[in-house]
Structure 1
């Protein structure tokens, strides 16, 4: 029997409505499109890909449709169940493979991969990413890319939005580097490492190649109701993100940051 994982239990309760609440939302689709454009450019085609924190399988299914052989993991039993249902509805059974495995338990996974992907803050639920980097170094081929999307420590949209709504505690909740979120009534520790902390955590096994903001001008998902009333503004925000999301200071001030690491060949 798989031991219960705190974040996994919380996301179990969110799984059945997750696609409606986020995946199919305007903001969710817009932010995901930005991530996947980079991911498809970075990853070598039609090879073995490991996805961490796969949720309901949206990204894993896209990779599989484009020729990758995908093993997708998540700590949530219900998220994995939803992902398998989506796969079966598409008429496929063996790709992607979906397994309930928490990121902290990666040693349970056998095999060698040509790339690693994690989208939308699943890694923010892991207190220490250095052990994860060591395991991934053992499980990946030389030169393998890692494409990881994490929540930032400082999100300009979040700070401004909640200050304008008279909620200073929420406005600055990321700034301390750790916040206990309540997901479906369950407490989950969320960590907000800085860019330098992430760079250090993955050394010497992986070197950081590129960083860009995801959701610098495009707002966080909790602004969905407002942005639906302003579709032209959302289009403008998308264009602004394309222009400014890779600039050195601004790239760490969005809702998320997308990091491209490359394996160095050093396994300690």
Structure 2
């Protein structure tokens, strides 16, 4: 297991602020668990068992540990040293550390990763890529790191989330209702202002088009609500289970699959 520390950035500071409480607030919440289970179900049929995966924005390592337990070998990266520290601790506790290598590495510098061997797939969960302004640059960096035909599975926050629109409209909060619509929003984490981008599926596909093709789009959190609804939905576990079943039935539907809290894009590395 490797721990590498780069120069601290504003984004690193922002996510360092979240690291200690992230699992309690999101990972182990009923909404976080429901949305992550939906992502894992999609990943099960996309990634080849026991292959080598590159993970971007690994956070506290929940996905890395899951894949390691499934027999994958994972190289997991995050810009936040505090997130990597949490992930490293969890990997030791779950005895998955022999299958995971952690690096503190920004998406924009992923081409500088010490491991130069080609990977068989790439994964990024829950909106880490929404903090990347230049997706074209990311695509160019990833292409030589992946074997031809390798799948990418990227989970982005959507530009238009039906739950978010309805939730804040009912509270007459028009600014929060429309915060994603322009494709750009600034949020404050601790003392840091973080830029967040909301590219459409078409924009993402265009950014990766030179070396990758879009295979499918899956909706994550279409009827299952965003995480800030947790205090309300936690009191209604039966309702959440019903919403999960609805999502399972509709998550592939065209257009509907882009109106959830997240959209999961399956891309494939071109052969030439």
TM-score range, shorter chain: over 0.9
Say which of 55, 60, 63 aligns to 2:59: 55
Say which of 167, 182, 199 aligns to 1:161: 167
Task: Please state how far the C-alpha of 1:205 moved relative to its aligned partner.
Answer: 0.7
Aligned to 2:97: 93
Give 1:198-217 correspondences, 5 Å limit: 198-217=204-223
Aligned to 2:76: 72
Task: Please state how far the C-alpha of 1:3 moved relative to its aligned partner.
Answer: 1.5
1:27-48 superposed Cα distances (whole Å, 9 cap, x missing partner): 0000000000111210011011
Aligned to 2:36: 32
Task: List runs of 5+ in structure 1 lacking aligned partners.
Answer: none
1:13 aligns to 2:17 (yes or no): yes
Task: List runs of 5+ in structure 2 lacking aligned partners.
Answer: none
- Given that 2:214 and 2:268 are in contact with CA atoms closer than 8 Å, whether structure 1 keeps it comes out as yes
1:34-77 superposed Cα distances (whole Å, 9 cap, x missing partner): 00011121001101100000000000011011111100000000
- TM-score computed with the length of structure 2 as normaliser: 0.96
CA distance in 2, matches of 1:93, 1:224: 31
Task: Please state how far the C-alpha of 1:112 moved relative to its aligned partner.
Answer: 1.1
SS of 2:245's partner is helix
Say which of 238, 259, 268 aligns to 1:262: 268
Task: Please state how far the C-alpha of 1:142 moved relative to its aligned partner.
Answer: 1.0
- Given that 1:213 and 1:250 are in contact with CA atoms closer than 8 Å, whether structure 2 keeps it comes out as yes
SS of 2:142's partner is helix
SS of 2:185's partner is strand
Task: Please state how far the C-alpha of 1:5 moved relative to its aligned partner.
Answer: 2.4
C-alpha distance 92-195 of structure 1, shift in aligned 2 (>3 A)? closer
CA distance in 2, matches of 1:193, 1:213: 15
Aligned to 2:178: 172
Aligned to 1:139: 145
CA distance in 2, matches of 1:228, 1:2: 39
CA distance in 1, matches of 2:265, 2:207: 13
CA distance in 1, matches of 2:191, 2:268: 38
- Given that 1:5 and 1:102 are in contact with CA atoms closer than 8 Å, whether structure 2 keeps it comes out as no
Task: Please state how far the C-alpha of 1:166 moved relative to its aligned partner.
Answer: 2.2
SS of 1:265's partner is coil
- Given that 2:68 and 2:96 are in contact with CA atoms closer than 8 Å, whether structure 1 keeps it comes out as no
- Given that 1:48 and 1:113 are in contact with CA atoms closer than 8 Å, whether structure 2 keeps it comes out as yes
Aligned to 1:182: 188
Question: How many residue pairs are counted as aligned between the two chains?
Answer: 266
CA distance in 2, matches of 1:47, 1:242: 27
